[in-house]
Structure 1
Amino acid sequence: MPFPTDEKLMTTAKDLVAQLQSIFGSHPGFRPAHAKGITTKGTFTPSEEAKKLSTAPHFNSPSTPVWVRFSNSTGIPNIPDFDENANPRGFGIRFHLGDRKHTDIVTHSTPFFPMRTGEGFLSFLQSLAAGTIGDFLGANPSALAFVQAPKPAPVSYGTEEYFGVNAFKLIDSAGKATFIRYHIVPDAGVKTLDAEEVKKEDPNYLSIELEKRLAEGPIGFKIEAQVAAEGDVTDDATVHWPADRPVVTLGTIKLDSLLENNEKEQKYFILDPVPRVQGVEPSDDPLIEMRAGLYLWSGKQRRAA
């Protein structure tokens, strides 16, 4: 995973890491956001529709090994799962393509992102740290929408839906590009806890429940894609496409166990928002490269720790 070559972008990415660590504390060996997590492993099986839309290897192989990292928000490694700040939850997929190659999908449990650019998100964090977030939200409707979006705690990581806020292009064998956004849907259905119920839970109830659920059998998810229409905005994660846009199923994930050496592996591997694989390309959304730079820089810090 190479560093982005844009020096200004990398400066902003490093500033974002520093600002997150300023807010949540510096915790060597942990991510500055979504620090608390647990990684599972399983298999992805593509649909026939995925094969038509993209030449990507994971959409054309009979099946592909995957890791899925579930996580809580904030850079606090021991944040209680019942804390309202632990939302939105994260769902990061690594597709192992063989010969040390991989491609990733990064999603979280709210279909919103507060700002269009990395610089805008840095301003959001700075206003939060300075205590001026009220003024910032008044001037930035997209950030206000993110903050006000419902974020109920899930019954389980396996009963949560997750959204890819960035647009990507699926490229077929004829070179045709289809703009999509990913949506991860649990086979068990979306089930949440209300504010009173969640207070009764253990601080680590999600990982405890996940292990119990895995012991009873595989945990399933569908990877769906909302398809953009001509003229839909594809370079702004704060703009939603109309709900009537078609949705296709790209395949299914079955998770069957926790990843061995879980804590060690989580600290080592770095999810990459840029696909870097034939058949899937990033859109012009500026957040994609920014997130790649932030994840890589924080990953380098993690590995050094």
Structure 2
Amino acid sequence: MPAHEKPPFAPMALIGAVAVSLSLGLAWAGGLIGPHRISGGEVANALEGNGGRFPGYRRAHAKGLCFSGSFAANGEGTALSTASAFRAGAYPVMGRFSLGGGNPLAGDGRNVFHSMALMLRTPDGQEWRMAMDHTPIFPVADVASFVGLMKATTPDPRTGKPDLAVLKPFLAAHPEVTAFQGYMAKAILPDSFANATYYSINAFRFIDASGAQHMVRWQFEPEAPLTGLDKTRLADLPRDALFREMIARTAKGPSRWHLKLVVANPGDVTNKATVAWSGPHRSVEAGVLTLTAVQPEEAGACRDLNFDPTILPPGISPSDDPLLGARSGTYSSSFTRRAGEGAHPSAIGQDSAREKSQ
């Protein structure tokens, strides 16, 4: 993917990876903000225009694996929120691992988002849905920028690469995208879904029993030690390597993550997912997530679930981050489209289907 010239920004291969990664992550960008109201359908169209259309699959994070398990809350989270999920006890969860991009038959050897979606229900009927990535920041801060990036990075059919005449002006106007590219180039790319930390990326408003509000970003930190893929040899990775590794790992025993609630300091930016919080922060460990089983999508409950991260229990509400107000529209549009296109099987291991698509 790199061009012969060396542009002052990231190499073309990285740009392409970020574009696909974004296609995955901005399934988030639900779509009702910007200089004009951008609908969820417009965002879904941008995703399809950039990565291709695959009927029956999610428009982003198309390749996935269902899982189930439980969350054991220790009670400490009640200091920040009245949500029932933080009361001491064990609660069932279901979720989905996925990779960035809209092609369900794409290989795993890509420097893109590794993601975890999660739904947690408590006996009193409260429900908390989450959509998280293995990066602590996101490349763009609003839906209009995301749609612009999808258009700027759409491959030219003649070359298979983005048109530099379109891409360069976009990157010049969006230095946050270049900063994200730099982060992805240097950061460790986990070699398992089990050893990645998954971040909320956006901030959320937690309300405690006294009515006090706390701006929080959370993360699930794995017990498995982080080891990374060799980025110079990603093309050599078997097509479904990460998913098959997780299936084999789970057959041997459970995987666990610790939920950390990170409270904003005064002055922290809470309305831009492109900005990381730096320095010491108050952190509350709220419990342990245990994954005990994985299922292909046609057999698991995750396939037909919309992991809209604005579906929140009492005690948690969206922050002033504009992406949060937009995400539901895109999730809804993607869900409606694929539901009308008919059920799809798991893309894991579909070598013959992949060959037919080429």
- CA apart distance, 1:214: 0.8
Question: What is the letter of the counterpart of residue 142 of structure 2?
Answer: T
Kept in 1, the 8 Å contact 2:33–2:144? The answer is no
Distance 1:120 1:64 in 2: 38
* Aligned equivalent of 2:335: 299
Decide whether aligned partners of structure 1 residues 90 and 57 sit closer, same or farther in structure 2, where only a CA change above 3 A counts: same
* Aligned equivalent of 1:235: 271
Q: How does 1:202-221 map to 2 (within 5 A)?
A: 202-221=238-257
Question: What is the letter of the counterpart of residue 51 of structure 1?
Answer: T
Distance 2:31 2:101 in 1: 28
Question: What is the letter of the counterpart of residue 89 of structure 2?
Answer: P
Distance 1:7 1:214 in 2: 40
Question: What is the letter of the counterpart of residue 45 of structure 1?
Answer: A
Decide whether aligned partners of structure 1 residues 88 and 41 sit closer, same or farther in structure 2, where only a CA change above 3 A counts: same
Kept in 2, the 8 Å contact 1:268–1:302? The answer is no
State the TM-score, normalizing by the size of structure 2.
0.78
Residues 1:30 and 2:30 are matched in the alignment: no
- CA apart distance, 1:98: 4.7
Distance 1:291 1:232 in 2: 22
Distance 1:73 1:185 in 2: 20
* Aligned equivalent of 1:281: 317
Q: Name which of 303, 306, 314 aligns with 1:267.
A: 303
- CA apart distance, 1:161: 1.4
Residues 1:140 and 2:174 are matched in the alignment: yes
Distance 1:254 1:88 in 2: 22
Kept in 2, the 8 Å contact 1:34–1:75? The answer is yes
* Aligned equivalent of 1:63: 90
Using the TM superposition, name which of 61-70 and 147-156 deviates more: 147-156
**Match of 2:96, SS?**
strand
* Aligned equivalent of 1:45: 72
**Match of 2:39, SS?**
helix
- CA apart distance, 1:91: 0.9
Question: What is the letter of the counterpart of residue 120 of structure 1?
Answer: S
Q: Name which of 57, 73, 82 aligns with 2:100.
A: 73
Q: Which runs of 5+ in 1 are unaligned?
A: none
Distance 1:72 1:82 in 2: 10
- CA apart distance, 1:55: 1.0
**Match of 1:106, SS?**
strand
Kept in 2, the 8 Å contact 1:222–1:249? The answer is yes
Number of aligned residue pairs: give it.
Answer: 300
Q: Name which of 225, 246, 267 aligns with 1:189.
A: 225
Question: What is the letter of the counterpart of residue 110 of structure 1?
Answer: T
Kept in 1, the 8 Å contact 2:94–2:302? The answer is no
What is the Cα-based RMSD across aligned positions, in Å?
2.3
Distance 1:258 1:244 in 2: 36
* Aligned equivalent of 2:345: none
Provide Cα deviations, 1:74-121, integer angstroms capped at 9, x if missing partner.
00001111133xx11111111023577521111101222122111121
Decide whether aligned partners of structure 1 residues 304 and 81 sit closer, same or farther in structure 2, where only a CA change above 3 A counts: same
Kept in 1, the 8 Å contact 2:115–2:198? The answer is yes
Decide whether aligned partners of structure 1 residues 41 and 184 sit closer, same or farther in structure 2, where only a CA change above 3 A counts: same
Distance 1:261 1:108 in 2: 19
- CA apart distance, 1:254: 0.4
Provide Cα deviations, 1:123-161, integer angstroms capped at 9, x if missing partner.
111111262223212221111112221254322100111
Residues 1:89 and 2:123 are matched in the alignment: no
**Match of 1:212, SS?**
helix
Distance 1:279 1:184 in 2: 19
**Match of 1:50, SS?**
helix
Q: Which runs of 5+ in 2 are unaligned?
A: 1-29, 155-161, 342-358
Decide whether aligned partners of structure 1 residues 243 and 69 sit closer, same or farther in structure 2, where only a CA change above 3 A counts: farther
Identity %: 28
- CA apart distance, 1:48: 2.8
Distance 1:286 1:6 in 2: 9
Distance 1:10 1:32 in 2: 20
* Aligned equivalent of 1:112: 137
- CA apart distance, 1:13: 2.0
Residues 1:170 and 2:206 are matched in the alignment: yes
Question: What is the letter of the counterpart of residue 138 of structure 1?
Answer: A
- CA apart distance, 1:248: 2.0
